[in-house]
Amino acid sequence: MAVKKAENNSANEQNSPSELQKAAESYRSGWAYAEYAFQYGVAIVICTLGGYWLDKWLNTGNIFMITGVIVGSVAGFIGLLKSLNVLKFNKSDEHGKRKS
């Protein structure tokens, strides 16, 4: 009887993730979100700098820089939504449930 109980406990330990594995998984998902925020910021900065360069080159006011901020924000937001949808699909696929 005691041997069977020990076998059941070892089988449960093998199937359940350890605390270290749980912590590692939470850090992985956290870094994924940090990466998306970084990509959003980079899109805004690159488009803003491009607009600034165009303003200096064409000797205009700040119209291209303002346009760059807007375009960068929209492009970054679209990229953010696409990335989060992919992440959502991958998480639902890992659990065996596909959401339509």
Q: What pTM, to 2 d.p., does this model score? A: 0.65
For residue 48, pLDDT beyond 70 = yes
Overall average pLDDT of the 87-91 stretch: 76
DSSP state of 18: P
Report the number of distinct structural domains present in the chain. Answer: 1
Radius of gyration of the chain (CA): 24
Q: Is the pLDDT of residue 97 over 80?
A: no
Helix locations, 1-100, DSSP H: 2-15, 19-58, 63-94
What is the extent of the structural domain holding 83? 44-90
Residue 52: inside a domain: yes
In a domain, 67, yes or no: yes
Instruction: State residue 60's pLDDT score.
Output: 93
Q: How many CB atoms lie within 10 A of CB 100?
A: 3
pLDDT at 5 over 90: no
